[in-house]
Structure 1
Amino acid sequence: MQYQISEICKILKGEAFLSNKNDIVKHISIDSRRITETDSILFFAIKGTLNDGHNYIKKLSENGIHNFVVTQIPENLKEKGLNFIKVKNTVKALQILCSHHRSTFNYKVIGIAGSNGKTIVKEWLYQILHEKFNIVRSPKSYNSQVGVPLSVWQMSDTNNLAIFEAGISKPGEMQLLEKIIKPHIGIFTNLGDAHSENFKSIKEKALEKLQLFNESEILICSKDNAVFNDVLSEFTKNKKLKILTWSKKDKTADLYIEKKLNNKHKAKYKGKSFIYSIPFTDEASFENAAICMLTAFYLGFDSKILIKKIAELHSVEMRLQKIEGINNNLLINDTYNSDINSLEISADFLVKQGNLKSNTVVLTDILQTEKGEKELYNTVNKILKSKHISKFIGIGKTISNNAESIKLKNKKFYLSTEEFIADFDLKSFVNENILIKGARNYMLERIVKLLEKQTHQTVFEINLSAIESNYKAIKSTIPPKTKIMGMVKAYSYGTGSYEVAKLLQDCGADYLCVAYIDEGIQLRERGIHIPIMVMNPDEKKLEKMLINKLEPEIYSFQILNSLIKTFENYKFRGIEKASVHIEIDTGMHRLGFMPDEADKLIKILNENKFLEVKSIFSHLAGSDESRLKNFTLNQIKVFEKTAKNISKNLSAKPLLHILNSSGIFHYKQASFDMVRAGIALYGIDPHNKNPFKLSETGTLKSYISQIKIIKEGEGISYGLHSKSKKERKIAIIAMGYADGLNRKLSNGNWEVIINGKFVPIVGNICMDMFMADISNAKCKEGDEVIIFGKQNSICEMAKSTETIPYEILTSISPRVKRIYWYE
């Protein structure tokens, strides 16, 4: 759709200074750096707190732009053949124009509000509906006072459905957005604590968000939030607004869902029951999918079609990646956006997760801002200084023009990514933590490829945000004064010792635990400073353990005497104390002192005052098995009696701990002074009941190396198993048992996911590859293959191989590259 500039002037009721009133406007912009087409564009010169769009008018006019909405006309441009519309407030003018534009279309508009999930719900609705509707939707998270009008301006006659999200941070904002969006269909995702600082109460915030639906026909929302329900009742008084609800608690809801842990959820809509699954297991995804389903039903979708669509949902990219680089570099990949607010978050992640002394930032022009250039890059400089960045590389014209704002000695600027690549010298990046951040149009992934270590393309992606969330969930469940020991033994259950240890240290964990001394030394060398317990100390390496301030588990008189002897031989090194942890065998019969050995143990400890007992602990043998409940309770009783007897005879009171992950789930009364969080940190509950709402943290991925057609009756792989009576198409996938893929998954015993489709493994798994039947899947060579993840859970894989998730995680080969990411 297009407008004449004179027509826009009338819409805005502005003061006209038009050299050519017949000029056509098709596009609008508020950012001079994002303008790619100069023809038929109208520039709104917005004056922000740190930036003024009026300062760019002269340059824009020189580049061929003729039409401007301003609050003041530059004196030197009045007679230059340009068109100016003068208004009191250019932001309000932008909103008025886009509100008028919205009013020219009659097709359905969906408006989305809520504390969280707006962008994901919008994108998932697009995934579900785009084949039935020609949809226009908000780009990214364009939900602000300027983002919403820019989104609405995209509406055209070729569309027949619009989806816009609206976000607010203070009272009075949503009424303005409602006038622009005017949604027929309202969606309220959820009510949470996000952006609450400017509201007196959560009820006030909810009522403000609901203003988006003042003139809507229908509102789609959950029925399970009591606070929201109260506010909604107040809001709908004297309104004709129809309410459509979903619930997992209230069977009277329009869409009632019985959530199942096996991800096969039972639902009922308008009297018809059906079963569906989504390729995610976390609670937020479950809720987002529910609201999408109810919306699709309202728009006339059949349950059979919707079940298929919901099962094919894919994730929305909103994350930071941590990647191993060449020359011992560590890369943080944030090549998704370039806004100033996220720069500080990304730089903070760089510092927290980086294990090297030198921190480098590669940054493009910052596009998503209202700040003036000078103020903007002064702010960038402040962030770099606060995060102790030692080297800076700027890419883009604007950032290069503001090089003087960056006060680092070690800095370099390039006008484009191509210019950087042409000048790239591998030797100039050694032993550095490198943040690579910028807008997508700079294609910084090319720089990531230059710097990342080229390894086996099978990768294990670890979600550090999920580990952090799981830690907090555990912390919120145990008594406030109870400490947490994070188990990072066995390469942090296959996820990476240092990365998880650093995260737990930053989260405030009180202790870490490793299996062997060498693991602890590696963590010390990489900057981990919190106490570390070593479960299996090697008598030959006790000196190194003392030097690195590691704390051994003492489980026998032999290891105790060896430690005493080692300390006597090396105490001249200035080490005054040896911190130790005493293990009691309460029935598991692995390591530990028997309870009747306590008196002898107490005597030796008191005779050697340099021994400082930090904790006394034991292991539960069956806390994850209900049949062993009485045995477990007896273990706890024996431990408490023995530990307290030892403790009262020592000069300092040690910490007591017996609960592992499953113990934390089921025996919280025995939390004592500390608990040991292991597999629960990685989102796995052995009972698969998940009372803490833990999130699984790992996704194992590979790719298709080759696709071929297998004739009827032909076998596959070693032994020529998996013969079929019909022709099949198979994919050869670059992962095998040398990477940790159990051969028991061969011949149809496991399904991987390719482009949202579950496909079975066929034939025997080989050392370096396996085959999958893709006869019913749309895919090509090079496509991603998910071995396990949110959709095909590691717990289910464990059942298929008659083992436990622990074994699967710890079996993932070191040659499989670990990629860490943070939301």
Structure 2
Amino acid sequence: MSFNINFLKQIATKSTGDIDTEKNIDSVFIDSRNQVNNGLFIPIIGERFDGHEFLQGAIDNGAIATLWDESRPVPKGLNGDFPIFFVKDTLKALQQLASIYLQKVSPKVVGVTGSNGKTSTKDLLEAVLSKKFITHKTSGNYNNHIGLPLTILAMPINCEVAILEMGMNNFGEISFLSKLAKPDIAIITNIGESHIEQLGSRKGIAKAKLEIVDGLKTDGVLIIDGDEPLLHTARDLNTLKCGYNDGNEFKITNIEQAAEGTNFSINVNLHFSLPLLGKHNVKNATFALAVGKYLGLSEHTMQLGLDNCTLTGMRMEKKAGLNGSTIINDAYNSSPTSMRAAIETIKQLKGFSRRILVLGDMYELGKDERQLHESVAEVITAPITHLITIGEKGAWISEALMKKNKDKIEIKTYKTKDHAKGDLINLLTDGSVVLIKASRGMKLETLSTDICT
């Protein structure tokens, strides 16, 4: 990113210091510990901290200007030449600055939300679209009311397509982000159970995700999981549906799953290969292909993008395990929907004599959390050979499977991952594939580290 320091006067009530109009701001940051070049420091006021207390540290680390809450005193001893731009609220000023900068750069904006698959879809979008356009995407989990403005402000000035992930915990949050980003293309990957504790039901989750259309440009397009009835809306929108069922404009067919990846077709006659596992990732890729086609990319160009895609870590991440085994680390997060999808992927892989599931607790599932954990057992069937569950909630999956274990799957339950490690290692052979999946708070990726070479 880059803009002239004078640009900040558009959002400031007043300014002090030496405003050198020849200087450019090259980065915007809120953590005074970050080392930057020509940075604008924006102190945010949180529940347990006030960024205004750390201005000198920010200056030491490269800040050349700051936005400043006009109700806060300026630190004593501060060099009087240091540029300070006063605002009524630094968080709102951050968001306002992002909006103005977005207008200045004027890229096509692709907004992405959904219960599962947001980050993978974002990564696949970048892989495909970057073959033709200068792209910029959300980094890490910078997908909320603070992270999204920072993502926008990190865009290069010549950005042509901005891929912005939008997360939420409650109603109204996606609406705010959408109105800030004003997407040309909005994607809803799916409706799962994440945040059902706050939103009450899957219907409530769908309502919250559909807020992404609140900022959609009047000539924009909404791309949805066409297999999800809750997303079939009567709103007068240009909508493209992706999925496996009839009636989808981008219908997925001819799935061929292998350990190296997946081959599939769109509308029978368009053929693609994806170096990723899982039907859910095929659908995520199809969202990217739908956007690519909408923006005029050829089938060949889009395939080149898929060939080079790399997903953010711990998402169906294939690793070499001990004793020649194969480890699938999908430990970044989980919901019942995504856990079932990952299990189905393991069942479809060929060439393994042992298929081992290591599953843990899932959080934020509300009053029906036990039933939602138990529902996972419905898809744990042959050729799965072993189930290892970790944690109090994970044990509910084991208990449900024990009641209907017709395939005689070996079941073990542990309170902690440390207790499970030894028995898991004993199962690893060159014919073993292991899926590791749970909610983020379980941190099961540390178990993956212990069993990988």
| Same fold, judged at TM 0.5 (above) | yes
Aligned to 1:56: 54
Once the two structures are superposed, residues 116-153 of structure 1 have per-residue CA deviations (whole angstroms, 9 ceiling, x without a partner) of 21111111122223222221111122111111111111
The 2-side partners of 1:504 and 1:87 are apart by 48
Tell me how far 1:14 sits from its aligned partner: 2.2
Task: Read off the aligned partner of 2:375 and give its amino acid letter.
Answer: S
The 2-side partners of 1:20 and 1:128 are apart by 42
**Local SS of the residue matching 2:63:** coil
> Aligned ranges for residues 210-289 of structure 1 at < 5 Å?
210-213=213-216, 215=218, 217-229=220-232, 232-233=233-234, 236-237=235-236, 241-250=237-246, 252-258=247-253, 260=255, 262=257, 264-268=263-267, 273-289=269-285
* Residue 44 of structure 1, aligned match among 36, 42, 45: 42
Aligned to 1:29: 29
> Aligned ranges for residues 114-153 of structure 1 at < 5 Å?
114-153=114-153
Tell me how far 1:258 sits from its aligned partner: 2.5
Aligned to 1:747: none
Contact 1:114–1:209 (Cα < 8 Å) also in 2: no
Contact 2:226–2:248 (Cα < 8 Å) also in 1: yes
Contact 2:112–2:165 (Cα < 8 Å) also in 1: yes
Q: How many residues align?
A: 380
* Residue 65 of structure 1, aligned match among 28, 52, 63: 63
Aligned to 1:503: 390
Contact 2:188–2:210 (Cα < 8 Å) also in 1: no
Tell me how far 1:111 sits from its aligned partner: 1.3
Q: Percent identity?
A: 23
The 2-side partners of 1:135 and 1:194 are apart by 29
**Local SS of the residue matching 2:84:** strand
**Local SS of the residue matching 2:239:** strand
The 1-side partners of 2:145 and 2:133 are apart by 27
**C-alpha distance 473-216 of structure 1, shift in aligned 2 (>3 A):** same
**C-alpha distance 73-510 of structure 1, shift in aligned 2 (>3 A):** closer
The 2-side partners of 1:462 and 1:818 are apart by 19
**C-alpha distance 88-259 of structure 1, shift in aligned 2 (>3 A):** farther
The 2-side partners of 1:173 and 1:467 are apart by 29
Once the two structures are superposed, residues 426-464 of structure 1 have per-residue CA deviations (whole angstroms, 9 ceiling, x without a partner) of xxxxxxxxxxxxxxxxxxxxxxxxxxxxxxxxxxx9985
Task: Read off the aligned partner of 2:296 and give its amino acid letter.
Answer: G
Aligned to 2:345: none
**C-alpha distance 217-819 of structure 1, shift in aligned 2 (>3 A):** same
Tell me how far 1:101 sits from its aligned partner: 0.4
Task: Read off the aligned partner of 2:141 and give its amino acid letter.
Answer: S
Tell me how far 1:46 sits from its aligned partner: 0.6
Aligned to 1:302: 298
Aligned to 2:366: none
Aligned to 1:15: 14
Task: Read off the aligned partner of 1:508 and give its amino acid letter.
Answer: A
The 2-side partners of 1:180 and 1:216 are apart by 17
The 1-side partners of 2:207 and 2:449 are apart by 45
**C-alpha distance 190-214 of structure 1, shift in aligned 2 (>3 A):** farther
Contact 2:179–2:214 (Cα < 8 Å) also in 1: no
The 2-side partners of 1:485 and 1:164 are apart by 38
The 1-side partners of 2:266 and 2:157 are apart by 37
The 2-side partners of 1:102 and 1:510 are apart by 46
Tell me how far 1:178 sits from its aligned partner: 2.4
Contact 2:186–2:212 (Cα < 8 Å) also in 1: no
The 2-side partners of 1:58 and 1:124 are apart by 40
**C-alpha distance 463-278 of structure 1, shift in aligned 2 (>3 A):** farther
Task: Read off the aligned partner of 2:123 and give its amino acid letter.
Answer: E
Once the two structures are superposed, residues 788-807 of structure 1 have per-residue CA deviations (whole angstroms, 9 ceiling, x without a partner) of 899xxxxxxxxxxxxxxxxx
Tell me how far 1:60 sits from its aligned partner: 3.0
The 1-side partners of 2:112 and 2:282 are apart by 17
What TM-score comes out, normalization by structure 1 length? 0.40
What TM-score comes out, normalization by structure 2 length? 0.69
The 2-side partners of 1:91 and 1:284 are apart by 36
The 1-side partners of 2:65 and 2:116 are apart by 38
The 1-side partners of 2:126 and 2:397 are apart by 45
Tell me how far 1:191 sits from its aligned partner: 1.8
- Which one scores higher on RCO, CA 8 angstroms, separation ≥ 6? 2
Aligned to 1:290: 286
Task: Read off the aligned partner of 1:44 and give its amino acid letter.
Answer: I
Contact 2:43–2:68 (Cα < 8 Å) also in 1: yes
Task: Read off the aligned partner of 1:476 and give its amino acid letter.
Answer: S
Task: Read off the aligned partner of 1:299 and give its amino acid letter.
Answer: L
RMSD across aligned C-alpha pairs, in angstroms?
A: 4.6
**C-alpha distance 467-85 of structure 1, shift in aligned 2 (>3 A):** closer
**Local SS of the residue matching 1:32:** coil
Task: Read off the aligned partner of 1:288 and give its amino acid letter.
Answer: N
Unaligned stretches of 5+ in structure 2?
323-328, 334-353, 363-370, 414-423, 436-447
Tell me how far 1:82 sits from its aligned partner: 1.6
Task: Read off the aligned partner of 2:266 and give its amino acid letter.
Answer: A
Unaligned stretches of 5+ in structure 1?
326-333, 343-460, 494-499, 513-656, 665-675, 682-696, 702-738, 742-786, 791-816
